[in-house]
Chain A
Amino acid sequence: MKTITDLLHEHPFFNGLAEKDLQFLSGCTSNGHYKEGEYLARENTSADHFFLIRSGRVAVETFVPNYGPLCLMTLHGGDIFGWSWLYPPYRTAFDARALTSVRSLRLGGKCLRDKCEREPRLGFELMKRFAKIATDRLQATRIQLLDLYGPHPSQGDRQP
């Protein structure tokens, strides 16, 4: 039986983090299991947690009136959902819905924020890791906005 600390050790997000930090993090972490269709988090609710996805697929969605839920991206084992816990006003920006059975680790944002205020070294380390995720997502969003496969005015008639 693996402990929470073992699971944190295994997750790529925490690679290289000091043992004592992992011990602290395990204290504010719980295991989560979500059935297909269940929500890990809902838009515009208090962002008290973030999720490390261990297995399964999660859709990051927003609800569009007169259209329905629109999937912006899917997350998989090894991915993170949620950084709103880190920045005021601590409200979740999107829905996170399990597309399959999902196993995750749920980390308490509030206790982490307090800890990071007291220990800037850990705070900076976590901030770097979340900033990497945020920039990767920003880059992906920009590429999505380019509409790579859509028609372009300059495109000739030659096709692959």
Chain B
Amino acid sequence: MIPQVWRIEQRREEYPGTVTLALTREGKSRDSIHPGQFNMLYAFGAGEVAISSSGPGTSSDEPLIHTIKSQGLATQALCRLPEGSQLGVRGPFGQGWPIGLVKRRPLIVIAGGLGLAPLRPLIYSFLKGQLPARSLQVFYGARRPQELLYQQELEDWGKSFELVVSVDHADSTWEGHVGVITDPLRISTLDTGNALIFLCGPEIMMRFCIQVLRHKGVAESNIYLSMERNMKCAIGLCGHCQWGPNFVCKDGPVFCYRNVRQWFQINSL
């Protein structure tokens, strides 16, 4: 697949080193993107990287929204691009969140760090009444208060559904929770029999959250998670993102925990 050229319509710095880009392509609409799916973003001359959609809208006439943290060569280049500059886009790719399973069930969203980005479209779907969830609880863990994504939106979201934000480290100006996100998860009341859990964050954080969820009696089949792996081709050909029998780009990035549990036990894949 050849990347198509898109333009950065808007660039917002979430915190130093992390930006949210709104991308448009003049005169042409895009394919609709399912929450949890990703695009390959190409910084010309630097490389291509898989970034999940973080936009509030998924329809084809809205800009593409991606939140990117500067950490490798390609993401550093993308984060430096100013408004008006061009980049390449391929996609959308992969299997997103299984919205069809939500059907009036309680939905629990657990995000860590940048992991809130792929879950943001779901939150907006809920707020717009498009997600048939009975209720929504969101647990969001971050390193420091200054490293919280979508800070203004977090304030608004807290008025519409149960939102628990916890940071690992904070000074005395922060008045919210301090401690790992597994703590509020452990003491919270969850509908463990029926709730659907969508989880995204660093793999190690997801592992500890799953331990808590399992201890509380949540079934493996009710836990879905979005994986981070090194994706290159995005169509299951190159093999860079192979994870057991799966290719994360094609079979994921969202997986049911029941189907991938055994691959979590292996240190390096």
Residues of A within 8 A of B (CB): 57, 59, 61, 67-74, 76, 78-79, 99, 136, 140, 143-144, 146-152, 155-160
Q: Which residues of A contact B205 (CB under 8 A)?
A: 148-149
Residue among A71, A148, A155 making CB contact with B170, cutoff 8 Å: A71
Query: Which residues of chain A are near B170, meaning CB under 8 Å?
Result: 71
CA distance A61 to B73 in the complex (A): 39
Among residues of A, the one whose C-beta sits closest to the C-beta of B75 is A157
Q: Which residues of A contact B175 (CB under 8 A)?
A: 57, 99
Which of the residues A136, A144, A151, A157 comes within 8 Å of B168, measured between beta carbons? A144
The residue on B at minimum CB distance from A145 is B168
* Contact present for B179 and A140 (CB under 8 Å): yes
- B71 proximal to A (CB < 8 A): yes
Q: By the criterion of a CB under 8 Å from any partner CB, how many residues of chain B are at the interface?
A: 51
Partner of A159, one of B52, B147, B180, B183: B52
B160 within 8 A of A: no
Nearest chain B CB to A53's CB is how many angstroms away? 12
B49: chain A residues within 8 A (beta carbon): 157-159
Cross-chain contact B179 with A69 (CB below 8 angstroms) = no
| Chain B facing A: main interface SS | mixed
30 contacting pairs across A/B (C-beta < 8 A): A57-B177, A59-B178, A67-B171, A68-B171, A69-B171, A71-B172, A71-B174, A71-B178, A73-B178, A74-B176, A143-B208, A146-B204, A147-B143, A148-B113, A148-B143, A148-B180, A148-B201, A149-B112, A149-B113, A149-B141, A149-B202, A152-B202, A156-B228, A157-B71, A157-B75, A158-B241, A159-B50, A159-B228, A160-B200, A160-B226
Nearest chain B CB to A157 CB, angstrom units: 3
Cβ contact within 8 Å between A69 and B71: no
Once bound together, how far apart are the Cα atoms of A70 and B170, in whole Å?
7
Q: Quick one: which of A57, A70, A71, A149 has the most chain B CB within 10 A?
A: A149
Which chain A residues lie closer than 8 Å to B176 at the CB level?
74
Q: Are B142 and A143 in contact, with the CB atoms below 8 A?
A: no
Cα separation A155 to B228 with both chains bound (whole Å): 9
Which chain A positions have C-beta within 8 A of B71?
151, 155, 157, 159
Once A59-B178, A158-B228, A160-B114 are accepted as A-B contacts, the answer to whether A76 and B72 lie under 8 Å apart by CB is no
Q: B229 in the interface, Cβ–Cβ < 8 Å?
A: yes
Nearest residue (CB) in B for A77 is: B187
Contact across chains for A159 and B174 when beta carbons are under 8 A apart = no
Complex Cα distance A158/B182, Å? 24
Q: Mark B159-198, 1 if CB is under 8 A from A, else 0.
A: 0000000001111101111111011001100000000000
